[in-house]
A and B are shown apart, each in its own frame.
Chain A
């Protein structure tokens, strides 16, 4: 992929604005609340777009395109069954407690509601997860830049070896993210997430338009592909008859309930955006405002993947050049998707049945190369880079807040002044990014370590929503119970994973490391069921332990639990009321599921 001057200009223009925004915001960073919570002064629509974009990192854009190519329109379940209902729930039912309690972070809410140990458990596991996620994001971005080869020519001109591209990508992205967070804290991150949101729309809309026009619209695309690719609910009665390999119950309970509610309702990375809002009403509307564009996003990020697989098969020239080395005879891919190539040997990869494995992660990059001329190509790439970087920034801002308020201020230096905490936030930003860089290199050296870590993170996250649900809606829930439930829920996830295996996988990181008691038709089915087991274990154990431990007096729990908190009287215009917005979102959601069933 060769870029021309206009593409570079667009990219530089974006980086200039990103750092410029940080520089302007610097003078407003006076207290730690300014830095970590944007002074609780951001209007709802900005928080909403940031809420959406903070999650729109590497996994989202490249991963959703890849899943679109692999599973078709059924990928939309991650939005239309997964994210959206959870976003409506957190806005209407949970934000009154997060925002109303004046907690500065999700772990801090846990301390107010339960006790110190529950907060500590959540804060420490969350801090570790965010720095590693940011590292993984950085690694994925450097890898993508390498694969796209658009830095090869400039590097050759400067006399630098191609291997320097990886290092330079990591370094530059780290410096830019570090720069704008150090300067403007959470406000900077949020403002840049808004830029990124519009860039993604600007960069991907023409891609979808050209792709759809080329294949003859949605009906043309339908004619090109088997019907399970273009019907999201087809064959969902049994795991054998749909591309996801999951039946509807596992999908709705595992993805729609446990995993999505666990993420959107408890993850401080996104909740932090709502906590930065300028009023209770704005905080509650944050996820609801985010839900509208979120509903449309499948058309921007999943559809290009489906188009890529639906086009006539061709050998693509743009991305597949392997940097001048001799290319082994390539089996044909499918549509625009090439066959996966082994990184070291350069040979095509085959699965156990001897069929070539497709490199679905290249769906979006191949689409960009196929449809975008100089100019729009720069815009599309900038959108991709922006999404990688704000994904990283989201993790870093969540990390520095949790570290400073929930670990440093809570356990290391209880007497710290606010100015000291602000200083600590800046120092932590530097450290967080340094650890992310280390994690990125760890990922490059040992791919398995990252798979292993992500697996552990999944175990830790799976039971979380049970704890929050009981904590917010059942005043009898005790701190000892929450802590025990979380630990044993994570244990249940690990146990379930160790006892089951997806069909066709080897024992090990994919499961079955204790014994193989049950085989799932796909690893997605295994993931969903692992989450269901973990959630159920946490839910039941938390209730049981609560019954045997002493509850806190009601007076301690005002504003933290549903039954002890005054109902919010909805004032303001009808279109500003969270319940009304939530109802519209749900109605649209049902319509979308029916249209694409």
Chain B
């Protein structure tokens, strides 16, 4: 199929991460009483953001190289042609 799943996957997690991290950083801090005082939205948002950007990078790189995902199992640490 002509779309690398890592592109939408990465885009979604980048947006989710940004949203959560911003909400954690600038939102009401009193809601973190139930999470043992940890600003989970900020930290987990950052983790998701990093994951999202990484996936986006892998996906866009393979598309830029013109690899049609599927013809070779790219990104799968496997080499084409087996």
A→B interface (CB under 8 Å): 6, 9-10, 13-14, 17, 20-21, 24-25, 27-28, 38-39, 41-46, 187, 191, 194-195, 198, 202, 206, 210, 213-214, 278-279, 281-282, 370-376, 379, 571-573, 575-576
| Chain A residues within 8 Å of B72, by CB | 43, 278
Nearest chain-B residue to A39 (Cβ)?
Answer: B1
18 contacts between A and B (CB under 8 A): A13-B12, A17-B12, A21-B3, A21-B8, A39-B70, A43-B73, A198-B13, A202-B48, A206-B40, A206-B44, A372-B34, A373-B31, A373-B34, A376-B20, A376-B41, A379-B44, A572-B82, A573-B79
CB distance A210 to B36 under 8 Å? yes
Q: Which of A6, A46, A198, A371 contacts B19 (CB 8 A)?
A: A6
Q: How far is the CA of A194 from the CA of B1 in the complex (A)?
A: 15
CB distance A194 to B70 under 8 Å? no
User: What are the 8 A-B residue pairs with the smallest beta carbon separation, nearest first?
Assistant: A41-B70, A43-B73, A375-B41, A373-B31, A572-B82, A17-B12, A45-B76, A375-B23
**What per-residue 1/0 map shows which CB atoms of B1-24 lie under 8 Å from chain A?**
111010011011101100110011
Given contacts A42-B70, A375-B23, contact A198 B34 (CB under 8 A): no
CB distance B78 to A573 under 8 Å? yes
Q: Which of A20, A214, A281, A573 contacts B8 (CB 8 A)?
A: A20
CB distance B8 to A17 under 8 Å? yes
| Chain A residues within 8 Å of B5, by CB | 46, 191, 194
CB distance A373 to B13 under 8 Å? no
CB distance A43 to B69 under 8 Å? yes
Q: Which of B2, B5, B20, B38 has the most CB of A within 10 A?
A: B5
| Chain A residues within 8 Å of B74, by CB | 43
CB distance A6 to B23 under 8 Å? yes
CB distance A41 to B1 under 8 Å? yes
| Chain A residues within 8 Å of B77, by CB | 575
Nearest chain-B residue to A278 (Cβ)?
Answer: B70
Count A-B contacts at CB 8 Å: 121
Q: Which of A194, A195, A210, A376 has the most CB of B within 10 A?
A: A376
CB distance B12 to A43 under 8 Å? no
Q: How far is the CA of A558 from the CA of B63 in the complex (A)?
A: 40
The minimal Cβ–Cβ distance linking A96 to chain B, given in whole angstroms, is: 16
Q: How far is the CA of A14 from the CA of B15 in the complex (A)?
A: 10
Number of interface residues of B (CB under 8 A): 40
Q: Which of B1, B40, B78 contacts A38 (CB 8 A)?
A: B1
| Chain B residues within 8 Å of A278, by CB | 70-73
Given contacts A6-B23, A14-B12, contact A370 B44 (CB under 8 A): no
Nearest chain-B residue to A210 (Cβ)?
Answer: B35
| Chain B residues within 8 Å of A25, by CB | 1, 3
Q: How far is the CA of A93 from the CA of B2 in the complex (A)?
A: 31
The minimal Cβ–Cβ distance linking A284 to chain B, given in whole angstroms, is: 12
The minimal Cβ–Cβ distance linking A369 to chain B, given in whole angstroms, is: 9
| Chain A residues within 8 Å of B15, by CB | 13
The minimal Cβ–Cβ distance linking B65 to chain A, given in whole angstroms, is: 15
Q: Which of B1, B3, B19, B79 contacts A10 (CB 8 A)?
A: B19
Nearest chain-B residue to A184 (Cβ)?
Answer: B1
Q: Which of A278, A282, A370, A373 has the most CB of B within 10 A?
A: A373
Q: How far is the CA of A576 from the CA of B76 in the complex (A)?
A: 10
CB distance A202 to B69 under 8 Å? no
Given contacts A43-B76, A371-B35, A375-B20, contact A576 B40 (CB under 8 A): no
CB distance B71 to A214 under 8 Å? no
Given contacts A28-B2, A373-B40, contact A44 B73 (CB under 8 A): yes
| Chain A residues within 8 Å of B13, by CB | 198, 202
The minimal Cβ–Cβ distance linking B57 to chain A, given in whole angstroms, is: 16
Q: How far is the CA of A379 from the CA of B13 in the complex (A)?
A: 11
Q: Which of B3, B11, B76 contacts A44 (CB 8 A)?
A: B76
| Chain A residues within 8 Å of B41, by CB | 373, 375-376
Given contacts A28-B3, A202-B44, list 9 more A-B pairs with CB under 8 A.
A6-B20, A6-B27, A41-B1, A45-B73, A191-B3, A214-B36, A282-B73, A379-B16, A572-B78
CB distance A370 to B70 under 8 Å? no
CB distance B70 to A373 under 8 Å? no
Q: How far is the CA of A191 from the CA of B44 in the complex (A)?
A: 24
Q: How far is the CA of A576 from the CA of B46 in the complex (A)?
A: 33
The minimal Cβ–Cβ distance linking B31 to chain A, given in whole angstroms, is: 4
Given contacts A371-B34, A375-B23, contact A41 B71 (CB under 8 A): yes
Nearest chain-B residue to A38 (Cβ)?
Answer: B1
Q: Which of B44, B69, B70, B82 contacts A576 (CB 8 A)?
A: B82
Q: How far is the CA of A373 from the CA of B13 in the complex (A)?
A: 19
Q: How far is the CA of A206 from the CA of B19 in the complex (A)?
A: 17
Q: How far is the CA of A17 from the CA of B12 in the complex (A)?
A: 7
Q: How far is the CA of A21 from the CA of B7 in the complex (A)?
A: 10
Nearest chain-A residue to B29 (Cβ)?
Answer: A373
The minimal Cβ–Cβ distance linking A280 to chain B, given in whole angstroms, is: 10
CB distance A279 to B73 under 8 Å? yes
Chain B, range 34-76, C-beta contacts under 8 Å to A: 34-36, 38, 40-41, 44-45, 48, 51, 69-76
Q: Which of B2, B20, B44, B70 has the most CB of A within 10 A?
A: B70
The minimal Cβ–Cβ distance linking A15 to chain B, given in whole angstroms, is: 11
CB distance B16 to A376 under 8 Å? no
Nearest chain-A residue to B68 (Cβ)?
Answer: A41
CB distance B69 to A198 under 8 Å? no
CB distance B9 to A187 under 8 Å? no
